[in-house]
Every structure is written in C-alpha cells, then in structure tokens.
Structure 1
C-alpha cells in the first residue's frame, strides 16, 4: 500500500514537471512622483519552485494594488477582493485565478490610467524656489489688500491713498505710529472726504502749505474734528480781536488750539487776564506770541507765578513786565528760574529792578551766565552797577554770541575764553 502511494506521487510530480507553466504579470504605474514596472519572467515551475513563484506573484499583485488604491479609491475594494480570491485559490489551481485576475487588471487599468492622466494634467502651484523668466514675472499679479497687521505705518504707505498723500505733505509717520490707536485712525480715514476738506480749511484761514505737515504730525486728531466746530472756534478768536494773521500763526505754532471748545478758550483768556492783571490788548499780545498757553494745563502757570512772587520776590507790576517781555517765563522750569535768579541776584549782586529791565537773562542757560561772569571776574571787568564806570548790562552779557562777547565786552580773544572754560 505504501509503495503504491509513492508511485502515485512520483507520477504526479512527473506530470507537473512535464508541463510548462508560463506566468507573466506586467503592469506599469506612471503616476508622479514614482513609476515602477514589475515583471515576472516565464519559468518552468516544478514542485516547490512553483509554490515560491506563486507567492512572488501574489506579492507583486499586492504592491500593485497598493499603488493603484493610492490614486483611485473607487476601485480599492474591487481590487482587494480580487487579490483575496487569488490567495484563497492558490492552494488548488493557481493558473485560472491568475489569468482571470490578469484580465480583471486589464479591465481596471484603463480607467485608472485615465484618472492618473487627469491628475497629471491638473494645474499645480509652482515652487517658490523655481526659476521663472522675466515675462512670467511681469504677469504675476500681486494682491493690493492692506496687510492684516503691522508695527509700522511704512507697510501701508504704498497701498493707502491717505498715508501716501500725508507723506507728500511732510507728515512724520514715525511719530504718529508711536502713539496708540493713531495709525488705525489714519488708515480708516478717506483722503477725499475726511482729510482734504480739513486741509483746505487750514489753508483758508491763512496757514502756510509748509506748516500743514507739522500740524498733522503734532495733532492728527484735527483730521477728525467737525468742520463746523473748527469754523466756530476760529470765528470766536477773531471776535476777541485776534487778527487773521495772528490766528493763522497761533494755529501753526499750537496745533491743538482748534481742538478746544469755545467755552474752554474763553475760560483760558479770562484766566490769564485776571491772574496777570493785564489789559485785553496785552493779554492778546502775550497769547498770540505764545499760543500754547491756551492748550496746556493751568496749574503749572499758577505755580510759576507763585515762585516769581514768593521765592524770587518780584512785585506784581514787575511780574507783568517780565511776562510781557518774555512770555516763555510762564512755561519755564521752576528750578531753572530759581537757579539763574539766585546766581544773578546773590552772586553777581544785580538788584531786582535791573533783572526786570533785562528779563532775557531767564531765557539763557545757567552755565552760559556763570561762565561769562567768571571770565569777566578773572579779567577784573565784572561791573554790573549802572552807576559805576565800565558798566556791563545783563542784555549784553547773555544776548551776544561768544566771539562778539569776547571782542566787545571782555576785550579778549575767543581762544582765551575757550582756554578759560577748560579750567572750570
């Protein structure tokens, strides 16, 4: 019985060995970015070699299925079922399922290749590193939308008509962008409807073109003020007998002036007239020469007047004379005022009435007064009493430049003065 079984097995192997089994599986996938061709050459399979060849063929079919399913989801389930059927039938008769499966692949391939061709024909975005010719570079369209966010108004100048026109007027955008919310406000303004009418109004009241950029740089909020309110405030100043030239000059040198209401302007005028005890004409004269007195806080002005009266010892009429001559004294630093007064009055021995006669000394620097006085003292020419010979007034002491002071007052050379300064 055993010998007969062995004979049957040998006869079966001989029959299988006599047959030539040609198995060819060829397919190609040409889908970017990879392309591959897998081919199994025809072999004569006998015994164990047949089994290994069948496994190799199944392995190739699985790889092909993975490549096709990557690009075509519609055939994924169909191909998977075919390969599973081939694997299940490989143990009995592997030739028929392979041929059927090859025919099924041939049926599937045309539709898959057409889909791949469509994918290849679809337009793709060029790489940022890809070189292009000049003609293509010219045809590239750039979006003109404003940047969503930026820390500088410089990024918006080329795309905002308002900012570009303001730059042409001489507006310092680097100053405005440092102030909170000003940049956003300017970007929201329309040049023709918001900016141009107010600039034309400033020109109508006499402001020079060269001062428009300075006004907007210092006070951009004037571009959001109502035109009727601006006209009302200008008319009020004119009703107080400020000339048209004075109003234009005041607006140019104090850009925030027209941002204040008529009531506030009226209160400021009354305050200075009452505190200084000046006439209406002298009050207008002081405010026209220093219009920022109407814009700032009144508390520092009150303190300065107290310092002049209590600490420096000036009388009310002397303070009036000083303010009319030098309105800037009202806004001067209190420490500077006391320092200069102390040196002039206590060191140089100049009395109050002479200081009132030449109040320009408060406009000069403390170092300048000290150096020139010590130089005159070194030369023996520090004479500040008008009743004595070789009298030197405070005006000549502080108002002349260095070269004129040396030749006309000190009667020395400029080099001598510079050498003396190095010894201090």
Structure 2
C-alpha cells in the first residue's frame, strides 16, 4: 500500500493486511466477486482479445455466459468493462508508472480514475511524494493526498471499496517478498514488524537498538521499506571506509539512523569539507563514532558553526581540529545554548575572556550544558564555597559535576576541617575531586572512613 502517506500526524506505520491491486488498469483488473473470493474476472476476457482494436471475440459460449453473469451482478465490473471498450484516443491518455523496487514494475493506469482524486497533480508527483517524504512535495499535492487519505479513512478496511481506493497508489515494496497479509495495519512500535522484515532483523544483529531508533521522527516507516542488501549494505560499507569498526556500527546507527536515509553523495560532501579543513581521516572516523549527527548537516551550517566558535573563543586552527574531533557534539549543538553559557559566564559572573577561553579548551562540553538549569546552579554553590573565577578557570571540570554532590562533599570536608582547595595549604583537596569518583573511591582517596561520610549524609 502507500507507505509515506502514513507520515501524516497521528498516523501509525501502516501496512496492508489484505491483497493490494495495481492501479485500476485499462486492460486488466483484480476485484472481489460478490461471494467474497479473490479472483480476476478479466482473466477469461483477456484471452478473448484477438485484435489490437479492442474488439472482444468470445470463443466459448460458456465463457461468454459466465462473463455476462458477472457483468450483471457487479456494478464496479461494468465500469471496468466500459474502460476496456474506450476508444483509442482515450487510451492515449493512459500513463505508465514504473515502481523501481528490486525489479521494475510497469502498469497501464486509467488516468480518468486517478484524476478524480488528484486533478492537479501528475501520477509521477504523487508517487514521488508518497514514496519519499510528504514534506518535500508542494502544498497542492499535499492537500490532494490529505483529501485522498481522509476518504480512505472513512471506509471499512474489509470492504471492496477500500481495496479499490488503496490500490490507486502502488506500494514501493510490493515485489520484496514481505508478508503484508500478516502485518499489523497500525502499530506504535517497530517491534511488531521485526518478524516479517529481514532488514530489521539484520539491523538488530548489528547491534542497533530499534527502541531508540523509533523515537526519531519518520525513520521507522523508512526502515521497514528498505531492502537490506541493496539499500543498507552500501551505507555500512561507506561507514567502514570512514574508519568505523564493526563493533561500533550498531552504536552509530542507533544514535543517528538518518545516515541510512541520506544518499552517500551528501554524506561525502561533509567529509570532503572536513578534509579541506585539514581534519585527518583518523579524526573523521573518531568523530563519526562519537557523534555522527554532523554528517547529515549542510556544509554551510558546519562552516558557520566552526567559524562562530573559533571567533568566540579565539581559537587557532589546530585547537579547532583538536576540540571538535574529540567533541563533535558541539558541531550539531544548538548555537544559542552555547551563546547563553558564554553570556552567563562573561556578563553575569564576570569571567574574563581569557578565563572563558581556558575553560573551553580544558572542558568544552560545559558549553553544551543548559545555562539556567545546570551551569547557574553549580556556579551558585561554588560561589558560596568561596571559589574564585580564576580557580574555576584552572579546574573547570567541577562545573560538569552534580551541584548536589559538590555541596554535600564540601559540607562534609568543612565539618572535619579539610575544606582546603589551595594547593599551597596543608591538607589540600583537589577541587575537581568533589565531582569525580564514586562514594567508595572518593572516600578511599580522601582517606576517610565511608561509614563516617554516610552517617553525615543522614544528618543533612
């Protein structure tokens, strides 16, 4: 059935659970008989066509009689027979649609039937829209597809009319040997289709977490329609060429399944851009494993982001390559959030620009944090502890720690008289250690009995 039509809001992943016919053909059909059996009433009629002038020659009286009975019983059949007898001028208006999935399928389409639902859109436009992405089609085509879907929704899925209506748009996977008759028509989880999809099964074997993948908009519907050997394998080989090892492929596709949707040429333009900026192949491979979302970005967006950050923190070219190859998440991170953290440090807490630059070089992921909910609360705790901005620029990792954990450990050290964060004083405690290590390891490093620390926490 139509696949991308289900991209409309609040529509699940649809798959037909009854047979699907080709578009209402001018020379063939596949309709239900009144008894409910699935058969082709034109199977005998096709054999009686002897000349290209559409003249019907009935060779067998029994066949002729059976055809006449069918024509009297079924009004839909009468309409289809009239189409067969249409004159040659009307036949010239019929179009051929080829669905390229595994093998090319071509069928003659009755444009008169099709144009009842899509008067302002061509067959090619509609097929391209429903088999790729509804967001990419124009407003007029989108409106007509919506109207068509609304009419389909009002029909009984077990009725003959629903069967005819849904056959107006050919399904792109009809030749991929997927057992559509057994698929659930609507599902909120991609797991319902794993049993019937070889592609999903092999992705699971590669280590892809489908429960995480289905959280990405539209990607579940896309993956169900893919042929693993033809559509997925080339992308896997491309990732290996970039330096992604086999055991990391599942992680990469789980965190960014859109790699499977974008063409390789588009991904390669991003790689070529990074190489032009003197990122090495090893750097690019590590970036893809750590955070591959930058691969689906436009080159202009990446260039603008790198330029903004280089100017904001006064970085050299080598520093840009070193930081972003280690933390590629900053490339795809919201630039306004980065600017908010910079504004908070510089304008609110009065960090000097040199101090902010030092913080970014030592711990750049601080600028990927939420300015109001995370960074602000941590700075308030550290300020109450008497930590200066200069000290924070030297030990910025404490800004990544839980402010509750830092506060509790500082209160305990203060209780036992060891809250000294100046390396020149006796009993010095590293400021960064307040946010590092588990309870057991921290107590061991501080040479503190764990029982004493746990007892203190109960008194808070």
Tell me the TM-score normalized by structure 2: 0.58
The reply on whether 1:417 has 2:453 as its aligned counterpart is yes
Deviation track 1:354-384 (CA, whole Å, cap 9, x = no partner) reads: 1111111112111111111111111122223
- Structure 2 residue aligned with 1:369: 406
Contact residue 341 and residue 375 of structure 2 kept, 8 A? no
Q: Is the helix fraction higher in 1 or 2?
A: 1
The reply on whether 1:343 has 2:343 as its aligned counterpart is no
Matches within 5 A, 1:139-150: 145=181, 147=183, 149-150=185-186
Q: Tell me how far 1:261 sits from its aligned partner.
A: 2.0
Deviation track 1:371-398 (CA, whole Å, cap 9, x = no partner) reads: 1111111112222334433232313433
**CA–CA separation in structure 1 for the residues paired with 2:215 and 2:433:** 43
- Structure 2 residue aligned with 1:267: 304
Contact residue 301 and residue 330 of structure 1 kept, 8 A? yes
Contact residue 350 and residue 385 of structure 1 kept, 8 A? no
**Residue in structure 2 matching 1:324, options 361, 367, 371:** 361
Q: Tell me how far 1:404 sits from its aligned partner.
A: 4.3
The reply on whether 1:384 has 2:399 as its aligned counterpart is no
**Residue in structure 2 matching 1:156, options 181, 190, 193:** 193
**CA–CA separation in structure 2 for the residues paired with 1:351 and 1:155:** 56
Q: Tell me how far 1:159 sits from its aligned partner.
A: 2.1
**CA–CA separation in structure 1 for the residues paired with 2:182 and 2:290:** 34
Contact residue 146 and residue 156 of structure 1 kept, 8 A? no
**CA–CA separation in structure 1 for the residues paired with 2:282 and 2:255:** 21
Cα distance change on mapping 1:328 and 1:191 into 2, 3 Å: same
**CA–CA separation in structure 2 for the residues paired with 1:212 and 1:195:** 12
Deviation track 1:229-248 (CA, whole Å, cap 9, x = no partner) reads: 22221122122121212111
Cα distance change on mapping 1:324 and 1:416 into 2, 3 Å: same
**CA–CA separation in structure 2 for the residues paired with 1:220 and 1:405:** 39
**CA–CA separation in structure 2 for the residues paired with 1:304 and 1:372:** 25
* Unaligned 5+ runs, structure 1: 1-141
Q: Mean alpha-carbon deviation: is it higher for 414-423 or for 210-219?
A: 210-219
Deviation track 1:112-162 (CA, whole Å, cap 9, x = no partner) reads: xxxxxxxxxxxxxxxxxxxxxxxxxxxxxx967451513132232222221
Contact residue 194 and residue 224 of structure 1 kept, 8 A? no
Deviation track 1:217-259 (CA, whole Å, cap 9, x = no partner) reads: 2222211211122222112212212121211111122222111
**CA–CA separation in structure 1 for the residues paired with 2:445 and 2:256:** 45
The reply on whether 1:205 has 2:208 as its aligned counterpart is no
Cα distance change on mapping 1:369 and 1:178 into 2, 3 Å: closer
Contact residue 248 and residue 289 of structure 2 kept, 8 A? yes
Structure with larger Rg: 1
Contact residue 310 and residue 320 of structure 2 kept, 8 A? yes
**Residue in structure 1 matching 2:202, options 165, 169, 184:** 165
**CA–CA separation in structure 1 for the residues paired with 2:287 and 2:274:** 10
**CA–CA separation in structure 2 for the residues paired with 1:398 and 1:144:** 54
**CA–CA separation in structure 1 for the residues paired with 2:425 and 2:184:** 75
**Residue in structure 2 matching 1:242, options 259, 279, 296:** 279
**CA–CA separation in structure 1 for the residues paired with 2:345 and 2:282:** 32
Matches within 5 A, 1:13-24: none
- Structure 2 residue aligned with 1:281: 318
Q: Tell me how far 1:277 sits from its aligned partner.
A: 1.1
**CA–CA separation in structure 2 for the residues paired with 1:354 and 1:227:** 47
Q: Give the structure, 1 or 2, with the largest relative contact order (CA under 8 Å, sep 6 or more).
A: 2
**CA–CA separation in structure 2 for the residues paired with 1:162 and 1:289:** 32
Q: Tell me how far 1:303 sits from its aligned partner.
A: 0.9
Q: Mean alpha-carbon deviation: is it higher for 272-281 or for 143-152?
A: 143-152
Deviation track 1:31-58 (CA, whole Å, cap 9, x = no partner) reads: xxxxxxxxxxxxxxxxxxxxxxxxxxxx
* Unaligned 5+ runs, structure 2: 1-177
Cα distance change on mapping 1:270 and 1:416 into 2, 3 Å: same
Cα distance change on mapping 1:341 and 1:169 into 2, 3 Å: same
Deviation track 1:184-203 (CA, whole Å, cap 9, x = no partner) reads: 21122121221110111001
**CA–CA separation in structure 2 for the residues paired with 1:247 and 1:176:** 23
Tell me the TM-score normalized by structure 1: 0.62
> Does the residue aligned with 2:292 lie in a helix, a strand or coil?
coil
**CA–CA separation in structure 2 for the residues paired with 1:385 and 1:319:** 21
Cα distance change on mapping 1:153 and 1:337 into 2, 3 Å: closer
> Does the residue aligned with 1:288 lie in a helix, a strand or coil?
helix
Contact residue 333 and residue 368 of structure 2 kept, 8 A? no
Contact residue 233 and residue 261 of structure 1 kept, 8 A? yes
**Residue in structure 1 matching 2:266, options 223, 229, 236:** 229
Instruction: Compute the RMSD of aligned alpha carbons.
Output: 2.1
Cα distance change on mapping 1:413 and 1:247 into 2, 3 Å: same
